[in-house]
Amino acid sequence: MNRNVIFEDLGFRDYKETWDYQEERFQEILQLKVKNRREGLEQPTPNYFLFVEHPHVYTLGKSGDPANLLVSEQVLSERGASFYRINRGGDITYHGPGQVVGYPILDLDNFFTDIHKYLRFLEEMVIRTLGEYGLSATRSEGETGVWLDVGTPEARKICAMGVRASRWVTMHGFALNVNADLSYFDLMVPCGIRGKGVTSLSAELGRHVPMAEVKQKLTTHFRGLFEVA
């Protein structure tokens, strides 16, 4: 079991370019696993964790409802946003400037083979990070992601999640609103969930929050939860 993780900060990068880069890392791990099984080898599989910030983009998961995008793609183009249908779980999600996006590309055979536990650990990483800013974040039953004030009329999502896994190798991940322009969420039904709001770390704290600081805290909690070597 290889519990080393290669962390990469890709900076501000186009969604499609980053998706292609994810796929390369994902296929690299899958192919090594197949080779190991076919040839009776035990070559360690690598693990990656990519941080990135995207230009304005909307993505629709494979089980998502296109009706949850409330405007035409022409309107998106006028707002400087692009749109992609992609191969993760979940519904529609927005990515944009001021949002910390994380893509763990892990061979879960190196950690634990349980997708539900994997998602709960990603949520816990975000919950612990927000706790360092004095926010009491939590899960909402039946709704993947991280929320504030669950069970009240003020319930609002601060972090969305959607993953893909094959042969216990993961890709895609989470999007944490740090300093994001929340008006872009008005163009969709966030994650296909009606009647609940969206927020950001800066909106909750009333100040700009350094992105590098948030990424450092997420990394620390990820290392602890996943017992990274």
HEC-encoded secondary structure of 60-107: ECCCCCHHHECCCHHHHHHCCCEEEECCCCCCEEEECCCEEEEEEECE
41: left (phi over 0), alpha (psi -120 to 50) or beta: beta
Which tens digit of pLDDT belongs to each residue from 163-206?
999 999 999 999 999 999 999 998 887 655 555 689 999 999 99
Amino acid 65: pLDDT? 84
- Burial (CB < 10 A; 0-12, 13-18, 19+), residue 197, is middle
Which tens digit of pLDDT belongs to each residue from 131-154?
999 999 999 988 889 999 999 999
Q: Does the pLDDT at position 229 exceed 80?
A: yes
Amino acid 90: pLDDT? 72
- Contact criterion met (CB below 8 Å) for 139 and 121: no
Single pTM value for the model: 0.92
CB count in 10 Å sphere of residue 101: 22
Mean pLDDT over each residue of the chain, to the nearest integer: 93
Please check if 162 is assigned to a binding site: yes
Amino acid 62: pLDDT? 81
Please check if 165 is assigned to a binding site: no
The SS3 of residue 117 is helix
Tell me the C-alpha distance between 183 and 186, whole Å: 5
Which tens digit of pLDDT belongs to each residue from 59-98?
888 878 888 889 988 888 899 999 988 877 777 889 999 9
Amino acid 66: pLDDT? 85
Catalytic, out of 191, 198, 214, 218: 191
The SS3 of residue 113 is coil
Please check if 103 is assigned to a binding site: no
Domains of the chain plus CATH, in order, are 6-226 (3.30.930.10)
Tell me the C-alpha distance between 222 and 212, whole Å: 15
Please check if 91 is assigned to a binding site: yes
Q: Does the pLDDT at position 160 exceed 80?
A: yes
Which tens digit of pLDDT belongs to each residue from 197-211?
899 999 999 999 999
Task: Spell out a b/e string for 107-122, using b for 16 or more CB atoms within 10 Å of the CB, else e.
Answer: bbebbeeeeeebbebb
Please check if 133 is assigned to a binding site: no
Bigger pLDDT: 67 vs 224? 224
Please check if 94 is assigned to a binding site: yes
Amino acid 99: pLDDT? 98
Amino acid 190: pLDDT? 62
The token duo for 32 is: 């090594």
Tokens 């022409």 found at: 74
Amino acid 64: pLDDT? 83
**Long-range pairs for 139-147 at CB < 8 Å and ≥24 separation?**
143/191, 143/193, 144/90, 144/119, 144/191, 145/174, 145/191, 146/176
Decide if 159 is catalytic.
no
Amino acid 199: pLDDT? 95
Amino acid 141: pLDDT? 86
Amino acid 86: pLDDT? 82
Which tens digit of pLDDT belongs to each residue from 3-43?
999 999 999 999 999 999 999 999 999 999 999 999 999 99
